[in-house]
C-alpha cells in the first residue's frame, strides 16, 4: 500500500514491475526535458525585444526539428516494446488461481490439486482492528507462495471488474464470460494491496484485493487450514 503523501509508484515485488518503474523514470525524464525546453522557448519569445517579421524559411532548423523528435520517439519506443514483449513471455506457472469478481467482492479458487474456494469481502470501517488499513483490508487474503510463477485467471460473474495489484504490476479486466490471464512472481514475501479498477456499481471502491506472499511451507499450511474450514 502507499504511505501517506506518496506520489510515486509503490516498490515493486515483481521483476517486470521493476522494469516498468525504470521505463517510467526514463520516459518522464524525456518528457520533463521537452517541457522545460518548450517553457523556456515560450518565455524567451514573450519577453524578447527583437522584431523581425521577414524570416521566410530555414532548411537547417527544419531538418533538426524533424529528425530530433523522431529520434526521441525511437528512444521511448524501444524500451517500451521490450517491456511489452517481456510481459508476454511464455511462463510456466507453478500455480493457477481463479479470481472471480462479483458485486461487490472477489472470490478465489485454487483448483490445481484440491477444490479450494473462498470469498474475500472488505472489512467494514467499524469492524477494523486497531492499526488495520481502512478500505484495504479483507477478511480472507489470496495467499501465494513467494518466488513462484503464479497464473491468475480473472473473470467476473456479473458486471465488469478489474483485478489490480500495483506492487505486482498486475491489472487485468474481469469480463463476464471471458477468462483473462495474468502472471506474476512475488519476489519478496509480504502483503500487497490493490483495489477494483473498473466501475462496477455502488461499492466499487469497497472491494479491495489483498495478496499475501509467503514461503511455500506456510502456503501449504494455509491451504490445508482453509480446506478444513470449508
Partner 1 sequence: FVSHNALPTYFLFASFTDCFSPSSKRQTEVRGVAKVEDYTLPAYFDRRESPLPDIKFVQQLSPDQKSLKEKEKGSWAALSKEEKIALYRISFKESFAEMDKGTGEWKSVVAGIFFFIGFTGLVVLWQRNYVYGDVPHTFDPEYKQKEVQRMLDMRINPVEGFSAKWDYENNAWKK
Q: Residues interacting with partner 1, by CB under 8 A?
A: 1-3, 6, 10-12, 49, 51-53, 125, 128, 130-134, 188, 190-191
Number of Cβ within 10 Å of residue 200's Cβ equals: 21
Q: How far is the CB of 192 from partner 1 (least distance, A)?
A: 9
- Asked whether residue 207 is marked as a ligand-binding residue, the answer is yes
User: Which lies closer to partner 1 via its Cβ, residue 100 or residue 165?
Assistant: 165
User: Which lies closer to partner 1 via its Cβ, residue 51 or residue 66?
Assistant: 51
Q: How far is the CB of 52 from partner 1 (least distance, A)?
A: 7
User: Which lies closer to partner 1 via its Cβ, residue 29 or residue 230?
Assistant: 29
Number of Cβ within 10 Å of residue 103's Cβ equals: 15
- Asked whether residue 204 is marked as a ligand-binding residue, the answer is yes
Q: How far is the CB of 108 from partner 1 (least distance, A)?
A: 20
**Nearest residue to 170 (alpha-carbon basis) of 182, 180, 187:** 182
- Asked whether residue 161 is marked as a ligand-binding residue, the answer is yes
User: Which lies closer to partner 1 via its Cβ, residue 79 or residue 190?
Assistant: 190
User: Which lies closer to partner 1 via its Cβ, residue 53 or residue 66?
Assistant: 53
Q: How far is the CB of 63 from partner 1 (least distance, A)?
A: 28
Q: How far is the CB of 153 from partner 1 (least distance, A)?
A: 27
- Asked whether residue 87 is marked as a ligand-binding residue, the answer is no
Q: Give the whole-angstrom CA distance, residue 13 versus residue 160.
A: 26
Q: Give the whole-angstrom CA distance, residue 211 versus residue 142.
A: 5
Which letter does DSSP use for residue 153 in this model? Answer: E
In the structure grid, which three cell numbers stand for residue 107, read together?
472470490
Distance of CA 64 to the CA centre of its chain: 37
Q: Give the whole-angstrom CA distance, residue 94 versus residue 145.
A: 9
The answer to whether 176 and 156 are in contact (CB under 8 A) is: yes
What angle do the packed helices 15-46 and 59-87 form, to 10 degrees?
A: 160
In the structure grid, which three cell numbers stand for residue 115, read together?
477444490
- Asked whether residue 226 is marked as a ligand-binding residue, the answer is no
Q: Which residues are annotated as a binding site for Mg(2+)?
A: 198
Q: Which residues are annotated as a binding site for Cu cation?
A: 161, 196, 198, 200, 204, 207
Q: Which residues are annotated as a binding site?
A: 161, 196, 198, 200, 204, 207
Amino acid at each position: 500500500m502507499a504511505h501517506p503523501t506518496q506520489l510515486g509508484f509503490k516498490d515493486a515485488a515483481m521483476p517486470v514491475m521493476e522494469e516498468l518503474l525504470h521505463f517510467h523514470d526514463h520516459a518522464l525524464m524525456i518528457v520533463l526535458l521537452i517541457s522545460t525546453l518548450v517553457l523556456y522557448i515560450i518565455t524567451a519569445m514573450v519577453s524578447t525585444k527583437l522584431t523581425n517579421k521577414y524570416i521566410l524559411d530555414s532548411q537547417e532548423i527544419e531538418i533538426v526539428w524533424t529528425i530530433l523528435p523522431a529520434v526521441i520517439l525511437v528512444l521511448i519506443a524501444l524500451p517500451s516494446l521490450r517491456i511489452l514483449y517481456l510481459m508476454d513471455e511464455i511462463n510456466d506457472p507453478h500455480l493457477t488461481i481463479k479470481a472471480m469478481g462479483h458485486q461487490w467482492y472477489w472470490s478465489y479458487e485454487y483448483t490445481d490439486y484440491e477444490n479450494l474456494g473462498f470469498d474475500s469481502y472488505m472489512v467494514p470501517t467499524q469492524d477494523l482492528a486497531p492499526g488495520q488499513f481502512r478500505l484495504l483490508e479483507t477478511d480472507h487474503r489470496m495467499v501465494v507462495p513467494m518466488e513462484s510463477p503464479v497464473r491468475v485467471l480473472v473473470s467476473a460473474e456479473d458486471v465488469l471488474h478489474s483485478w489490480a495489484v500495483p506492487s505486482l504490476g498486475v491489472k487485468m479486466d474481469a469480463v463476464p464470460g471471458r477468462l483473462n490471464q495474468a502472471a506474476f512472481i512475488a519476489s519478496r514475501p509480504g502483503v500487497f494491496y490493490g483495489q477494483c479498477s473498473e466501475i462496477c456499481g455502488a461499492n466499487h471502491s469497497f472491494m479491495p484485493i489483498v495478496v499475501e506472499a509467503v514461503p511455500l511451507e506456510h502456503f501449504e499450511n494455509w491451504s490445508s487450514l482453509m480446506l478444513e474450514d470449508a
